[in-house]
Amino acid sequence: MTAIQRIILSTAVGTALALFAFGCGEPSDAPTPPKTAERAPAPPSNEAPAPPPAPPAPAKNPDTPPSESAAVQADVKAGKADYQLYCASCHGETGEGDGPVAQALNPKPARHNDGAYMNPLTDDYFFKVIKFGGASVGKSPMMAPLGLSDQQIHNVIAFMRSLAEPPYQP
Ligand code: HEC
């Protein structure tokens, strides 16, 4: 054995001893695992396969509320789209009452962004006006029933409420 070999060997032995000592020291520091865990019975080999993981919960999409709540939950975004389509020609895109058709009307379309006027009025009242027309509440027949679904009407009312200044407090 050459001197170099001896050095390498003693280094290796020393390292091994150090590792051994370190390895032996460790369990006394770590908590002893409970004995019962070691005796836990192994699962029988003929056990039924584990059930497949539950399917992931459907992603929540604010634009499409679940059907149970669809009847009551208003969708402001959808309401805005319908408002631009059906109402803005008279009431204006921002509810200012300044749509292109408004000039020809008398009385003028209501200003839906006027919180002082609109906030005290109820959703039920708006629903009636929008569903059955202005004449149904003694208002101008120029405010015509436009054939929106109940859901669309709820959405549009929610959008109208969002325009109010001062803001609408339900
Ligand atoms: C053809 C024009 C026209 C269109 C389109 C129209 N409106 Fe009107 N709307 C009017 C006029 C005019 C009045 C005012 C009636 C009055 O003061 O007698 C009115 C009044 C109202 C009122 C009653 C406010 C109040 O003073 O009590 C509500 C609510 C309303 N509109 C909502 C809507 C919504 C929502 C839409 C769209 C779905 C719509 N309107 C579309 C002309 C229109």
The pLDDT assigned to 23 comes to: 46
Of residues 167 and 29, the one with the higher pLDDT is 167
Choose the weakest-confidence range: 47-56, 102-111, 132-141.
Answer: 47-56
Distance separating alpha carbons of residues 3 and 7, to the nearest angstrom? 6
Domain spans in the chain, listed from the N-terminal domain onward: 1-19+72-170
Residue 117 has pLDDT above 70, yes or no: yes
Q: What's the 168 CA to ligand 1 centre distance in angstroms? A: 18
Per-residue model confidence (pLDDT) at position 73: 85
Q: Which of the pair, 125 or 6, is modelled with greater confidence?
A: 125
Between residues 136 and 15, the one the model is more confident about:
136
**pLDDT(24) > 90:** no
Fold annotation for 1-19+72-170: Cytochrome Bc1 Complex; Chain D, domain 2 (1.10.760)
pLDDT at 135 over 70: yes
* Contact (Cβ atoms closer than 8 angstroms) between residue 126 and residue 160: yes
For 134, other C-beta atoms within 10 Å of its C-beta total 19
Residue of 101, 128, 143, 152 best suited for mutating to test ligand 1, as the one with most atoms within 8 Å of CB? 143
Report which protein residue has its CA nearest ligand 1's atom 11: 109
pLDDT the model gives residue 47: 61
Q: What per-residue confidence (pLDDT) applies to 66?
A: 45
Q: Which atom of ligand 1 is nearest to the CA of 140?
A: 18
Q: Which residue has the higher pLDDT, 60 or 99?
A: 99
Share of the chain above pLDDT 70, in %: 58
Q: What's the pLDDT at 20? A: 45
Residue 35 confidence (pLDDT):
54
Enter the pTM of the model.
0.67
Residue holding tokens 């170099």?
4
Local confidence band at 170 (pLDDT 50, 70, 90 cut-offs): confident
Nearest residue (CA) to ligand 1, atom 6: 87
Helix, strand, coil % in the chain, rounded to nearest 5: 50, 0, 50
| Residue 41 pLDDT | 56
32 to 24, 35, 39, 58, 114: CA distances (angstroms): 13, 8, 15, 44, 73
Mean pLDDT of the chain: 78
